[in-house]
Each structure stands twice: as C-alpha cells, then as structure tokens.
Chain A
C-alpha cells in the first residue's frame, strides 16, 4: 500500500501536466508582470531597464489616482448594493411564510448567467438618453428627472457599477442563502423561546453565523470592483474621456493604446498590491485566519 501510493511515475503522470501548464500560462506571466514593470518597453523592441521609474511616474500620474478612486467607488457600490440587498433578500426569503420562494430565487439569479456583453448592451439601452427605459420612465411619470447617465463626469462610474451590481447580486444572494440554510434550526428555536423578535433574532443569531459567507462576499465585491474592466470597456470605453477608468483599464490603455507595456505592467502590479491589501484588511476585520481549504 505504501509503495502503491508512493509510485513516482504515477505521481509524475498525475501532477506534471497541471504544474507545467500552470507554470507557463499563469505563474510565469505573473512574474513577467512584476519584472516588466521595471522596464520601458513597447512590447516588441528591446526593453530598457529603468528600475522604479514607472512607479515614480505612476505616483505622479493623475490618471492613476482617478483610476484608483473609480475602482474604490465601484467596489463601494458593489458592497452596498450586492451585499446589502442580498442580505435583506435572503433574510426575507427564508421567512417561511413567503410564497413562490423558488420563483423569487430563480429571478434573482437569472442575471448572473447572462453574458456580460448582453447585460451591458441591455443597460446601454436602458440608460439611453433619448429612448432609454429609465428616462422614458421618468418622462411617463411626469418627473423632469431625465439624466444623462453615461455622459456624466461624476455619475457614469456609478451608472456602470449599478449594472455590475444588478448582474451579480444573485451571486451574493446564493452564497448567503446557502450559508443561512446551513444554520441548524435549533438556534432559531432557542431564540423563539427567548421571545426575541424576528429582527433581533436575525441580528443576534443569523448574521454572526454568516461571518464566513460575508468574508467571501466582501472579498468578491471589493476585488471585483478594483479589477473592473469589461463593464466600462463595453459601455463607455473608459469615457467620457477617462472618467470611468480603473486600474485595469489604465493598464489596457498603456499597453494597447499608447504602447507602454512597462508602464501598463506597473499599474497591474499596483492592482495586485491593492487587492492584496484589501483581502488582508477584510480578513482582519472578519477575524480568524485566512481561508483554509
């Protein structure tokens, strides 16, 4: 048996394909990103080592701060809308008196399975200034609250974040729902005997038991916000101007629009740093050591 499970050839056969593929396609590029961030490089011709100059430049670049700020805003919107609404819906839906629970659950989740392109194109038409659903709606109500949703310097990033929040709220909903379902019934019974009201029961029992689930949700929402790219790529192209840039978008622009691959790698590196910091903070806030598998 020992010999059986120590069969070196078998181990090699089992692990090498994965290790090889992973090293070449994922790990090597990560190192490349860090390494190349110290070069002035157009992606094709010879690179020039400039040490930390890209980072010095990055810290003086207004676009960098704008992008970072947008990433944080995006993350904040996701946290508030996805986790906030998700929590509320989960608590409401687990209330046994609610009918058609299955239908509700399915409808919350459907946007998740849509292609992101479809979700964005759909919302482009919802936001359309002249004919969009939203402005039409205000028009019909007779409210002169017609907005230029995506053409606004300050508002565009929120408009885009809402699309992402709308699409992936179901994700958070499902995570939290699964967590609630795994709470043993006795806890609630105990609360009922104590005569605690529903809200209090949730606050004192349910929510604390969801710490793990919340940690997932926060990491998901915040890193998702910092990394955001596809939504703005499809909906505004980062615009108007650079108003909806995020660090990922900045990296894309540096590499593929102005041919500064080194500089792009520097913003990618900063992105990693940010996500790392965010994850550490979240883990600290939610106590316990990081996720174990």
Chain B
C-alpha cells in the first residue's frame, strides 16, 4: 500500500510538472496565433499611452462568420480607440439564454453581455441590468439610431437597457434552386405544394429542410411561419396574452409541422444539430431548404453563389398566396450589448458597450452586406449586395406584418414553454393537442 501511495504521489507530481511546462508552451502558442477565442490586447499596448489597463468580460455571440467577423472588427477598432481596455470574450452558448441566466443567479454576470428582450425583462426585475437612458444620450448613441429602428432601443417600459446593432430582422426560407431543378420539384407557394415537395425530395434521398434545432429559436421560427399564415401576428399575439394556442391558426401550425416532419422534412437528429452542422448540409448541397434569419444571405451566397435564393413562406392555401405573401416572421426588439450594474467602472463599460455595438453594425453594413441595422453607418459598402439582399430590400417596404424572434418575446415563462414545445414538435410524435394544452396552461397561468 505504501508503495502505491508513493507511486501515486510521484505520478501526480509528474503530471503537475508536465502540465505546467506544456501549459507555458501552449501560452506561447496562443500569443503567436492570436486569433483564438481569447482576445489579447497585449500586442501593441506597450507603445501606446500609459493608461491603467482594464480587463472587461464580455459575453457575446461568436459562432459563425456572421458573428465572428463583426466582433473581431469591433475588437480591432476598440484596440485603436481604447488601447487600455482588454476584452475577455466569453462565447455565448447556443442555449437560449440559459447560461447567462445562470450567471446572473450566481452573481457571475460579465461586465458586458449580449441580451434579448427576455433577458432584459428578467434582469431588470432582479437589478442585473443597467438602465442606459442617460448614457445613450451622453455617448451620442441615440443620435446614430435609424428612426425606423427605435423599437430596438426602447423596452416596453420606455427605458433603454441595451445598445442594439441589429435592426428589424426577418426569418427567411432559403432554398437551393439547383436541387429543386435537378429533382424536378416546384418551389412551393402553398402548404400543399410544400408537402408534395418534401415527399418528392425524400423519395429521392434529398433532405428537404435543414434546421439547427439544437438552438430553440429556429424551431420557434419554423412554427411561426405556419402560425402567421392564418394569424399575421403569430407568436407575438400569444406572448402578449391576446390569443390562445387553441385557436385555429396556432393549432393548425402545429399540425402542419407534425405532418411535414412525418413526411420526412428534417435531417436525422435535427434537434441535435447546431448552426455549423445544419448550415453545412445546406451549403454542401445536401439539403434543399434552410431556415435562418436574413443574416444568412452572406454565408449562403458565399457557399452556393447564384444557386441560392429565398422564397415566400408557403401560404395556407392557393387563395391566400398573394394576401399573406408579405406577412413575415421575425422582427426587431430591444436587445444588444447590455451592461452589468455590478461592473467596477460603469462609465467605461457603457462606453465600450456602445462603441462595440456601433462598430459591430458598421462591419455588418460594410462587409457583410447587411443593411438591416439599428444604427446608421456612413461608410461606403465594400462589396455590392448579393441578389438575395437586393430582392429583400425591394420587399421590405411592402411588408404587411412582422412578429418576433424567440429572443424578442417578452415573457420568459412563455418563451421557455414555446421553445420547448416547438422543438418537441420536430420529433413528429408530439401531438398537436398536447402542444396546445402545454402552451395554454402556461398562458393561462401568466395571465392569472
């Protein structure tokens, strides 16, 4: 026994030594590669003015090209503007706010964090989010807002809690024209055509629709597409307690998804796919359609060139095609970079948050072909818009109604229930009646 003990001790010691040594090695590697998850502000700091270096923790999206590029761009700009500030990036988990809420509950909140309406509403009650009314004026952020996107700045109670960068965004159904042509499938304009298309693709071994349903908001989005065919206000109306899930539009939305899923709409393991996995299916031509926000335009164009386009959501029936064509799902809502009230230097954190937000939007505008933003950008765009964006810009003024993304829902309890229920729909074996009942139970309790 004694022998083993000392052996164990030696082994542990050995492990410690090895790993301290390799850890140093790894650090060096980190410095040279630089572009890893950590955002080092060390380089180029020494020769700048001697201000006290400050480290701020930021919780931000950093998953795909559309979130990495603008973030990196903003960080670069920040280094020039405030060289003393170093950002420590905590990559936003694709878990619909769960991690951030855990942070708040355990007093772990980062200095700056990406927030949606649900987060704002939860955090303002518990004093976990800073009111930015004063700061928005002082930093001049308010003057840079698009007048049409003011809804993304003010929360329901008229206060500002976050610096938005995204404007009124929309959910689009992308499709691969080539796959449709090759398989001789008509681009669906009605639900029935969609169902036929799904069956046709399935019989030919093509995945009809790719979705990253590990995140729950795309599930909500997919459901909203069908709900809005009969009730243009879609999930927003449920969120506000003005409608019940037992109403025709909502129940039918569920039934239709179930029917489609049973017909083979989704790839295997859809509820376990994250963005990269789901996007890969579409980008590599293995899936005919893909659901995502309009920010996907850039990435899809890059992968598929002129083979890709977006379609109007398939209508309820042939008669309502024109009538509901411009009833879109999605919209903007209050959200963006928010600041923790527990941060050490509020002024500074707010300044950084506002700056990051503006630069983020700037990159999206100039480099990511995305004009749907909260703030104005006065720089020229670096490349012409892809055809899909041109098409969307023409349609934007014609939009008759919008709803909300899951993160734009105001009631956390309803949001959680809707997310769970819509994700569950994608298994095909959750009945529409259960769906309605589960949602109505929650809606009823909230309105009590």
Q: How far is the CB of A92 from chain B (nearest CB, A)?
A: 29
Interface residues of B in 387-439 (CB under 8 A from A): 412-413, 416, 420-430, 437-438
Q: Is B122 an interface residue, CB under 8 A from the partner? A: yes
A257 touches B416 (CB 8 A): yes
Residue of B nearest to A149 (CB): B269
Residue in contact with B423 in the complex, picked from A43, A241, A256, A257, CB distance below 8 Å: A241
- Find out whether the CB atom of A243 lies under 8 angstroms from the CB atom of B272: no
Cα-based distance from A278 to B427 in the complex (angstroms): 32
Contact A62 B438 (CB under 8 A): yes
| A258 close to B (CB within 8 Å) | yes
Question: Within the complex, what minimum Cβ distance (angstroms) separates A60 from chain B?
Answer: 8
Binary per-residue interface labels of chain A (32-68) against chain B in the complex, 1 for a CB within 8 Å, 0 otherwise:
0000000000111100000000000000011000000
If A256-B101, A258-B412 touch, does A239 touch B424 (CB 8 Å cutoff)?
Answer: yes
B17 CB to closest chain A CB (Å) equals 22
The answer to whether B429 and A154 touch across the interface, beta carbons within 8 angstroms, is: yes
Min CB–CB distance B89 → chain A (angstroms): 22
> By CB atoms of chain A within 10 A, which of B97, B213, B429 has the most?
B429
Most buried by B among A149, A238, A257, A261: A257
- Taken together as a complex, chains A and B put the C-alpha atoms of A128 and B266 apart, in Å, by 14
* In the complex, chain A residues 223-248 whose Cβ is within 8 Å of any chain B Cβ: 235-243
The answer to whether B429 and A257 touch across the interface, beta carbons within 8 angstroms, is no
Q: How far is the CA of A147 from the CA of B272 in the complex (A)?
A: 14
Whether A150 is near chain B, meaning CB under 8 Å from some CB there, is yes
Question: Which residues of A pack against B, CB within 8 Å?
Answer: 42-45, 61-62, 124, 127-130, 135, 146, 148-154, 235-243, 253, 255-261
A153 touches B98 (CB 8 A): no
Considering the complex of A and B, which 9 residue pairs feature the smallest CB-CB distances, nearest first?
A241-B424, A129-B268, A129-B269, A44-B126, A153-B429, A240-B271, A153-B427, A241-B420, A256-B102
| Alpha-carbon separation in the docked complex, A5 to B272 (Å) | 61
The smallest beta-carbon distance between B125 and chain A, in angstroms, is 7
Q: Does B267 contact A (CB under 8 A)?
A: yes
CB-defined contacts of B54 to chain A, threshold 8 Å: none
Besides the known contacts A62-B441, A237-B214, 14 further A-B residue pairs in the complex with CB atoms under 8 A apart = A43-B105, A62-B437, A129-B269, A129-B272, A130-B267, A151-B272, A236-B272, A240-B424, A241-B423, A241-B425, A256-B101, A257-B98, A259-B122, A261-B105
B127 interface hit (Cβ, 8 Å): yes
Is A151 a contact of B271 with CB atoms below 8 Å?
yes
Q: Report Cα–Cα, A256/B108, bound state, in Å.
A: 13
Contact A128–B101 (Cβ < 8 Å): no
- The verdict on A148 contacting B269 (CB below 8 Å), with A44-B127, A62-B438, A258-B413 known, is yes
A74 to chain B, nearest CB (A): 18
Please indicate the chain B residues that have their CB under 8 angstroms from the CB of A259 in the complex: 101, 105, 122, 126, 412
Instruction: Given the known inter-chain contacts A43-B105, A43-B126, A258-B413, please indicate yes or no for A239 contacting B420, CB distance below 8 A.
Output: yes
Kindly list chain B residues whose C-beta atoms are within 8 Å of the C-beta of A45. 125-126
User: Could you tell me the distance in whole angstroms from the C-beta of A103 to the nearest C-beta in chain B?
Assistant: 20
- Whether, in the assembled complex, B270 has its beta carbon less than 8 Å from a beta carbon of chain A, the answer is yes
Closest A residue to B437 using CB positions: A62
Contact between B416 and A253, CB atoms less than 8 A apart? yes
Q: Is the CB of B429 within 8 A of A239?
A: no
Q: Which residues of B contact A128 (CB under 8 A)?
A: 269, 272
The residues of A that contact B178 with a CB separation of less than 8 Å are: none
- Residues of chain B touching chain A, judged by Cβ–Cβ distance below 8 Å, are 95, 97-98, 101-102, 105, 122, 125-128, 213-214, 216, 266-272, 412-413, 416, 420-430, 437-438, 441
Choose among A43, A124, A241 the residue that contacts B421 (Cβ–Cβ < 8 A).
A241
CB distance from B99 to the nearest CB of A (A): 9
Q: Dominant SS at the A interface?
A: loop
Query: Of A237, A238, A240, which is within 8 A of B426 by CB?
Result: A240
**Chain B residues, Cβ within 8 Å of A256:** 98, 101-102, 105
Among A62, A146, A153, A253: residue with most chain B CB under 10 A? A153
A242 with B267: CB separation less than 8 A: no
Q: Say how far A69's CB is from chain B's closest CB, in angstroms.
A: 14
Question: How far is the CB of A96 from the nearest CB of chain B, in Å?
Answer: 27
**Cβ-defined contact, B425 with A127, below 8 A:** no
Instruction: Find chain B residues with CB under 8 A from A146 CB.
Output: 268
Q: Can you list 25 A-B pairs, Cβ within 8 angstroms, ordered by A? A: A42-B126, A44-B105, A44-B128, A62-B437, A128-B269, A129-B272, A148-B268, A148-B269, A151-B266, A151-B268, A152-B429, A153-B424, A239-B424, A240-B424, A241-B423, A241-B424, A242-B420, A255-B105, A256-B105, A257-B412, A258-B412, A258-B416, A259-B105, A260-B413, A261-B105
Complex alpha-carbon distance, A153 and B270, angstroms: 12
Contacts of B216 in A (CB 8 A): 239
Q: Is the CB of A151 within 8 A of B424?
A: no
Cα distance, A239 to B425, chains bound together (Å): 11
Please, how many angstroms separate the alpha-carbon atoms of A242 and B128 in the complex?
28
The complex places the Cα of A236 from the Cα of B426 at a distance, in Å, of 14
Residues on A with C-beta less than 8 A from B423 are: 239-241
Tell me the nearest residue of chain B to A256, going by C-beta.
B102
Closest to B430 in A: A153
Decide: B125 and A42 in contact? CB cutoff 8 A: yes
| Distance in angstroms between the alpha carbons of A260 and B127 in the assembled complex | 16
CB-contact partner of B267 in A61, A129, A255, under 8 A: A129
B residues near A235, Cβ cutoff 8 Å = 272
With CB as the reference atom, state the residue of chain A lying closest to B431.
A153
Among A124, A240, A243, A258, the most chain B Cβ lie within 10 Å of the Cβ of: A240
Residue of A nearest to B281 (CB): A130
Most-contacted residue by chain B among A61, A148, A152, A260 (CB, 10 A): A148
**Closest chain B residue to A245 by CB distance?**
B420
Name the residue on A nearest B426 (C-beta): A240
Question: Bound complex: CA of A129 vs CA of B423, how far in Å?
Answer: 17
How distant is B426 from chain A, measured CB to nearest CB, in Å? 6
Q: Closest residue of chain B to A261, judged by CB?
A: B105
- For A150, the closest partner residue in chain B by CB is B272
Kindly provide the distance from the CB of B32 to the nearest chain A CB, expressed in whole angstroms: 28
Closest A residue to B422 using CB positions? A241
* Given A127-B269, A239-B271, A257-B97: A152 touches B427 (CB 8 Å cut-off): yes
Please, which residues of chain A bring their CB within 8 A of the CB of B101?
256-257, 259
Residue of A nearest to B428 (CB): A153
Closest to A235 in B: B272
Query: Which residues in A have their C-beta under 8 angstroms from that of B425?
Result: 241
In the complex, what residue of chain A is closest to B94 when comparing beta carbons? A237
A260 to B421, CA, bound (A): 19
- CA A36 to CA B128, docked complex, whole Å: 22
**B residues near A124, Cβ cutoff 8 Å:** 272
